[in-house]
Structure 1
Amino acid sequence: MDAGTGSDTGTGSDTDSSEVPDPAFLNPALGDFLVVSTQHVPKDIVVQKITLGNTQLLIDGQTAGTLGPGSALGELTGDRLRIFLHGALALGTHTLQLASLTPDGPRFSAELTMNVGAPDNPLPQVWTELDPEPRDVGDALLVSGAPPDILLGVVSGGLDPTLRLYRADEGAWADTPVLETSLKGYVPEVMSLGPGVAALVLPRPPGSDGTVVRVAYRRGLPGDAIVTRDLTIAPEPNIGPLQTAVDLSADLFRDAEFAALGKPFLLGDVLLTEFLAADDAETAHPGDRGIAHVRRSSDRSSWAAPSGSRPPNRSTSTLSGPPSPCLSSASAPASPSASVSASPACSRSPTPAPPSSRSQAKKSTCLPVHPRCSPRSPATSALAPSPPSLPIGA
């Protein structure tokens, strides 16, 4: 099964190469076409000579799979290629190509160029003027909650990482933090878009005037635990104990060859966290990534055992006959190496053979895989290094 689409990409091993036609684009057949970066309407391209379950789409030279049912990228039928657009494309250029597998090697279509352009009507812009003097300096920011309990967090790294939390005061952030707490064991993830830290003002129990802030963060790198601490800021300050909400000893990760916890999220007395639990640390599979959720006890004294949500169809499909031929990266035509921006998800390499023949499958050179699909890469979205220390304006 194709890791990104849930569809077969390894068919054709028992098919004569003369029976597999060269796939082709019909409209447009050659050249380029334009999509707008804010476009939500899917882009349809007329195609022909598609071998369903075999013909794959290449974007910038990287396989997107056969685009079968359930693909987040698009759909490929006998006469139509539909690309899903989500209104958040980066401006640039990408190449599209079709490829069908045969025992004698892949058969390619002509190459189309997709130009992503800016909309005719510019998007509304919002700006503000910051005070010249910074309120604080740190390595990362986080914003949580909604008025009147919205919080601004400033994370400072180093040997003793800390979190300082500010509350809003009459439309502006307070001059001084309402609390500061240590993040013992927290290690910033260089390639992450945000800190692995969350903070939330808890709902007040009926008849209570106390204000409690819960802080959660990922400990270790790769993350081996999510720990939490409750801090009372009113009426009397009080620092609660550091507690482990979930760690890698949980049954959820028992059978994984490699496991790591990601960024936590707080929703009242429920904690959610991303996780990676790979059955095979060398090859990515559907369901390697998931969401663990943990519920707090009614008296807010401890955490229950975690449970997880992972995509279905995690088992490796078994294909009869000899291993199917793979598209060779050496035989594929040269193409730009820009990453794919047209979809929030991408495909991974074709599913390996069953365990009994996995050693043979690993010797094959298959279609190039998008770098963001590596099991060692952080979760899906464009990745960028964490910024240096930054001043925080009012």
Structure 2
Amino acid sequence: VDIVGAGDLKAELGGCGLDEIWRRQIDGSAAAAVAVVGAGRSIGAAGREQQREDGAAHSSFVPRRRGARQATRGGSRDQPQRDGTDDGDGSSGGPVDLPAPDFIEPATPELRLEVTRADDLDLDVSAVEPGRTVLLIDGDSVGALIGDSPVGALSETRLLLHLPGAMVPGYHTLQLLTFDEVATDASEVVEVFLEASVPPVVAWAPIGEVIAVGDALVPPGPGSRAVLGLVDFDAAVPRLIAWPLDTHGWDAAQPRVIPLPELRPDTAFGVAAVAAMRRGTTMSASLRVAWRIGSPGTAIAVVEVPWASAEPGSPVTALVPDASWLGTREWVNVLRPVLAGDLLLTELVAPRDVEQGRPGDRVIASVALAPITAPAQPQLLQLGNFDVDRLGHVVDPLVDAHGDSDTLVARLDHREAIVLDVDRDTRTVRRRSAELGARDERWAGITDPPVMTASAFGSRIGAALVSDRSALLVGLTNDRGGAEPRAVQTQLADAPATAAAALAWIDGVPIVLVPRGAADVIAMPITSDAPELQLLAGLACDAIVGPPITVQGDDRRVTVACLRERELRLVTIRLG
């Protein structure tokens, strides 16, 4: 598995945008492009004037004021060159100087958006050259946006930015750059202010009777391919009962049962040591399941079965600790599996010296399951000499709907929640290069995998239970630097949590749900830097799992799973 760090130039320059331009040899000098993007990074709280001053230092960087750009709109693509030469018939034999791109909207170069905005931002633009014009967000290229992408789309006359809500308050900038043979022309900078909104009231309602009985819920998988999973240890052989997603959450009408031989209970985590996902988004897609063998764990088994049949499948041992890939580590405890694309990722405790722990003893291993009947050699994911653990899926609707990767969260060095992107085609793992770490000693106190959202403008919201599940820690981070990372820790008053926190995302509002056994479930809608707790009176759950999807529009409700005293029910969470 290829791990690409924060210094990767391709990711730094936007991947699909400038990289495509270089491969097609459209913009000429890559060094000039690096200089342009470097100039763009000066756009920050100092505003547009600082950007103009910095840009002037680069001869290829020509920012235009709005009035100057308007004068170019009527110009011809065949206008004479800057040296005044022309071949006499209105065309030039030399390089073409393209007009500067322009924001027609907004009317003034400033946008104010609520962090919960959950509909696309559609702006009129002009003089955009598809393939040559790129969009900068906070001075970094996000590419030419040809077609549709997780960021949006850019055409000759229109810039569309996808906004699913769940953003972090802060300051950002937008700018368009066009590369040609004469110069690099830039639009004026549009300032974007993401502003906090009033938190809505969260309510709940029961849906129906008990749908199954069991002991532990399985963490939801990747986006639209996730399943709801309940592990039943009372069966003759431990088994998984799985349900698919529908448009509002979990669908109780189509269960699938799979035996999980040699799975053992583990009370150390608030979730089962099982992972499950569908291989597609339709009911004809197969179901893939991974689980830990033994306790302490000795291996990971996997199986893939058709959803529509009752066959148990033929499990394969996909990850077994071995010196051929672990080296001289003296002992291994296999912890929790996670499925992403064709990769199986697993947390391991694998100390080099069992008598003296050191950083790097907690690692992530990966195995390519392509095909699942012949897993590849496991590999360790190298992220420096640090512990890496608490692996889980990020709710990332932009990548899920428009991209080709899965998004994961992991804890690095016990103090930082980081984001990993798993490419489904190449089966590679990449740490997000634009990421600004939010190191916080309080992350050392988490037991369960955190829940996390990823949204537009680099917004990330993470939450985890700390201090023996007696407090909820919420971190707000902006990968693009729109604001300093910040974290809020809130005590859970009269009763601690009984399992991992869950997440619901309704109409642009991310809601953290905390199960507390006989005590009322806690809901925390996050719409500002200072979120507050709400009690869902009468709702009691030992564990909760929300669907990793976004629900928006007039309905404003989502279906979550509530496990209480081994009885699993579905519950509606809605905004008042």
What is the TM-score normalised by the length of structure 2? 0.33
Looking at secondary structure, tell me which structure has more helix per residue: 2
Structure richer in strand, relative to its length: 2
Flag the structure with more relative contact order, 1 or 2, with Cα contacts below 8 A and sequence separation at least 6: 1
TM-score (norm 1): 0.47
